[in-house]
Amino acid sequence: MEKVRLSRTTHKQYEYLIQFLEQNSVITRGKSTPSEVSIIKDLWKKFAAEINSKNIGPFKTVDQWKRILTEWKANTKRKSHTGGGPPSKKKLTDLKERLLSVITKIHLGDDLLPDTLGGNIAESTSSTTGAIDVSFEVHDANMEIVDLNEEITYGESIAQISDDAFENVISPTDVLIPEDAMSVEKSNVKPAKLKIKKTNTNERYTSKILREALEKFTEGQNAIVDATAHQVDAVGQLTNILSEVSETLKKKNDILQAIADAKAVKAEAAMVRAKAEEMKVTIEIIKLKNELEYI
């Protein structure tokens, strides 16, 4: 299948993209809860709609923006010496520096360490106030930090590292970290071990299937909630219609009763008139009898 090349993304579009990542850390966190899956999906939809409406570059779909971000991260990591491969002499642009800052911040959860460690360790080792000795040893070419639940221990501390933060990083075996990251003598440096589990293609594939299944399940649950809400609205509308029908029937019964009452009154009036006529005839008969008797 031939790979379709996207239209060139403009510098202004990259600015909006990095701003979007900085304002929504859940996008680059590397792991998400079931409730965050739909949130991330909605955030990407809103971002694509907003940036496409600004007419500052080629139109792209949500999937295309995700692909651009993936390629941009890989390129930035490679140039910043965090993605493996030979070092690059080119200086990172401001946008790539901001991107690297977003995707490489990791909280280690230990009081002896700074809140975050940036992606470029070499810059930290050049400090004149403290020293960090880092030794790397390659045991297995397939060893990667890709598991979302990978654990790193420092004393009794545990931190989870996203696979998105250090993709294709050579696995460190021993890291010497100072008690005070800002100023400390090398003699006070305490060693810490990084325990890294080996992963294979099957585990990554299984993890991908589980994430996709969870996303589908979440979408199904949202669809059920929407259907239930529509059903409740339909029941409410039906109740209102039945209430109106009941009121109409009541009015009809009142009208029929009024007609019946009117007929009864009319019949009673006719009966009164008939009795009056009968009485009148009776009086005439009595008069005639009296006249006959007189004769």
In the chain, the amino acid numbered 109 is G
Instruction: Kindly tell me the sign of the dihedral angle through the C-alpha atoms of 238, 239, 240, 245.
Output: positive
Residue for token pair 């009968």: 278
Angle, in degrees to the nearest 10, between helices 62-79 and 11-23: 90
Contact between residue 81 and residue 122 where contact means Cβ atoms under 8 Å apart: yes
DSSP category for residue 25: G
Beta bridge partners of 159: 152
Report the alpha-carbon distance of residue 259 to residue 203 in Å, rounded.
83
Instruction: Kindly tell me the sign of the dihedral angle through the C-alpha atoms of 216, 218, 222, 224.
Output: positive
Let me know if 18 is exposed, middle or buried by CB neighbors in 10 A (0-12, 13-18, 19+): buried
Domain segments of the chain: what residues? 1-103, 105-199, 200-295
pTM above 0.75, yes or no: no
Q: What is the pLDDT of residue 45?
A: 94
Q: Which of helix, strand or coil describes residue 184?
A: coil
Contact between residue 17 and residue 27 where contact means Cβ atoms under 8 Å apart: no
Q: Residue ranges of the chain with pLDDT lower than 70?
A: 1-6, 30, 81-90, 105-201
Q: What is the pLDDT of residue 160?
A: 36
Ordered DSSP codes for 14-61: HHHHHHHHHH-GGGTSS---HHHHHHHHHHHHHHHHHHHHTTSS----
